Amino acid sequence: NDNNKNNKVCCKCKQSGHFARNCKAPREVKSKPLAAGKSQNTRVSKRTLKEKNPKKVAWNEEDATHRQALVKCAKAYAEARQEVLSIPNTSVVGDIQYAVCLLNQQRRAETWPDQFELKYDLSHAESPLK
């Protein structure tokens, strides 16, 4: 047993005869200085960081038609979003997502009537349904 005692070396105080868990030396607390105005709990979202070198998108002639349709749809979505946001008592994300979901369901049912059933009548109603 005495032979094993001599093999023990504390990694805290570097003395022999005991391990760190039995060490009587006071703990050394290492602290890093905080950056001015930043908390240790602050996380930086990768989504909010701007790229230093934004990537350029190259469109070839074959993609021109697709690009124009994409821009047209994005513009229509932005306009529809603004229209939905102008309605009193609407929540930004929830109402827009719900409306887009209904429109997608209608488009699928109109495009592939043999595969999808038209569940809702999205035409303008005279009065709200109760």
pLDDT, tens digit (0-9, with 9 covering 90-100), for 56-103: 767 677 777 878 888 888 888 788 777 777 777 766 667 777 777 888
In a domain, 35, yes or no: no
List the domain range (segments joined by +) for residue 94: 63-111
Q: Higher-confidence residue: 122 or 41? A: 122
CA distance 120 to 108: 12
Domain count, the chain: 1
Band the pLDDT of 48: cuts 50, 70, 90: low
- One DSSP character per residue, 25-83 reads SPPPPP-PPPPTT--TT----TTTSPPSSPPP----GGGHHHHHHHHHHHHHHHHHHHH
In a domain, 46, yes or no: no
In a domain, 19, yes or no: no
- Identify any residues that bridge with 9 across adjacent strands, giving them in sequence order: 16
With a cut of 70, say whether residue 6 has pLDDT above it: no
In a domain, 56, yes or no: no
User: In terms of pTM, does the model score above 0.75?
Assistant: no
In a domain, 79, yes or no: yes
Given this model, what pLDDT does residue 130 score? 45
Write the pLDDT tens digit of every residue in 109-128.
888 888 888 877 766 555 55
In a domain, 94, yes or no: yes
